[in-house]
Amino acid sequence: MGAYLLRRLLLVVPTLFGIILINFAVVQFAPGGPVDQMIAELRGQAGSSVGRISGEGGGETRAPATDNSGGGSGPRYRGARGLDPAIIREIEHNFGFDKPASERFWLMLRGYLQFDFGRSLFRDRPVIDLIAERMPVSVSLGLWSTLIIYLISIPLGIRKAVRDGSRFDLWSSAVVLVGYAIPGFLFAILLVVLFAGGTFLQWFPLRGLLSPGLEGAPFPTRALDYAWHMVLPTIALVVGGFAGLTMLTKNCFLEEIGKQYVVTARAKGADEKRVLYGHVFRNAMLLIIAGFPSAFIGILFTGALLVEIVFSLDGLGLLGFDAAIRRDYPIMFATLYIFTLLGLVMQIVGDMMYTVVDPRIDFESR
């Protein structure tokens, strides 16, 4: 097992390098980079000033579209026409775009090896500080949601498997189907409308994870307020994620119940409870328990992003989304690096959990 674990850890390095390299190369061809956005802001400010000076002069001044192609004898940024070239060079220098792409990539990698992600282009703060502030929000939201999903889905899936084809199985399948069909972010909007002051009731807060003025309150007060803020976001993620795990649990148990060792155990006189929890449970739960790290990462990557946006939670999802909109490349690549590294490590943890649930599994022999 030690040699297998070492090989998996060594594979993390080239995998992470390849993912960062591909995304860096794609971003180089994407229009509307940070230099373009800064030039557009300068043009917009100039245009608004001209409009104010001209009084009733009429029309709105718009900055032309930007162009990163650099072709022809004109300026590299089409939106920069009319601006002093020295200003453009200063903007490129401040953002680090006066260096070739290859040099910028290697400088970025050297910093990442030391967990130095540079400074945000538009927030003027170290990226590591921004990530450290928002990491607890995303991790707590994903962790609580995943735990509750497992606590609901596993007992429900076992009961559905034991009572397969019964009336309980039919109506619970209808509930699962509804949960599967409704995306988490859409259910989050529904919860806001119903319970967060949207149209009907205002039982829960809409923004953040702590009410204003409670920063210096005692820990029990802050913990209760935190739990109160977490109710609606957690429910939104649970409803969007429990359906698939419930059906997976049911199908795993149904498959194991039909195997020969279960028939043999029943023939030897073992009662149904002993057969189910003494023989079937460990084999059926192998895939489910070992998949916990992957389920946590899936919620953290996908569902939590839109839920954070709906409830205005300052997590990594909202931070990465805002960085992508503003082309804040240091934050974009830092969050990509963190998510990728966390996902690769969690995959290794998932493999280790296979051996914990079933010691007969030996990755070393593969």
Phi-psi bin for 81: left (phi > 0), alpha (psi -120 to 50), beta?
beta
Please give the pLDDT value at position 221.
85
- Per DSSP, the three-state class of 260 is helix
Domain segments of the chain: what residues?
8-113, 130-360
CA 267 to chain centre: 49
Average pLDDT of 88-107?
76
User: Which amino acid is residue 102, in one-letter code?
Assistant: S
- Distances 323 to 18, 34, 90, 202, 317 between C-alpha atoms, Å: 22, 10, 22, 31, 10
Phi-psi bin for 20: left (phi > 0), alpha (psi -120 to 50), beta?
alpha
Closest CA to 285 of 354, 238, 362: 354
pLDDT of 259 over the 80 cut: yes
Least confident stretch, 150-164, 245-259, 267-281: 267-281
pLDDT tens figures, 273-297 = 788 877 787 778 777 777 777 777 7
Average pLDDT of 287-312?
74
Please give the pLDDT value at position 343.
82
The token duo for 131 is 């990530």
C-alpha triplet 211, 214, 216: angle, nearest 5°: 155
Running DSSP on this structure, what letter comes out for residue 183? -
pLDDT of 72 over the 50 cut: no
Running DSSP on this structure, what letter comes out for residue 164? T
pLDDT tens figures, 25-63 = 888 777 767 766 677 666 665 444 444 434 444 443 333
Please give the pLDDT value at position 77.
55
Find out if CATH 1.10.3720.10 is the number for domain 130-360: yes
pLDDT of 84 over the 70 cut: no
Average pLDDT of 299-317?
76
Please give the pLDDT value at position 1.
67
Least confident stretch, 67-76, 99-108, 121-130, 350-359: 67-76
Closest CA to 122 of 28, 33, 5: 33
Is residue 18 a contact partner of residue 361, using CB atoms and an 8 Å limit? no
Least confident stretch, 39-48, 235-244, 262-271: 39-48
Please give the pLDDT value at position 66.
37
pLDDT of 71 over the 50 cut: no
Nearest-angstrom CA–CA distance, 109 and 77 = 28
Please give the pLDDT value at position 45.
57
Q: Pick 135 or 32 by higher pLDDT.
A: 135
When pLDDT is cut at 50, 70 and 90, the band that residue 366 belongs to is low
Please enumerate in sequence order all residues whose Cβ is within 8 A of that of 8, keeping only pairs 6 or more positions apart, or say none.
348, 351
When pLDDT is cut at 50, 70 and 90, the band that residue 314 belongs to is confident
Nearest-angstrom CA–CA distance, 235 and 185 = 11
pLDDT tens figures, 243-257 = 888 888 888 888 888
When pLDDT is cut at 50, 70 and 90, the band that residue 112 belongs to is confident
Q: What is the average pLDDT value for the chain, to the nearest integer?
A: 77
Residues forming a β-bridge with 119: 126
Q: What is the largest CA-CA distance in the chain?
A: 96
> Which residue has tokens 């739990």?
227
Least confident stretch, 62-66, 196-200, 205-209, 319-323: 62-66
When pLDDT is cut at 50, 70 and 90, the band that residue 200 belongs to is confident
Is residue 66 a contact partner of residue 31, using CB atoms and an 8 Å limit? yes
Nearest-angstrom CA–CA distance, 228 and 363 = 44
pLDDT of 198 over the 60 cut: yes
- Distances 324 to 29, 101, 185, 318, 336 between C-alpha atoms, Å: 14, 19, 19, 10, 11
- Per DSSP, the three-state class of 196 is strand
Sign of CA dihedral 260, 266, 268, 270: positive
Nearest-angstrom CA–CA distance, 233 and 300 = 13
pLDDT tens figures, 11-26 = 888 998 998 899 888 8
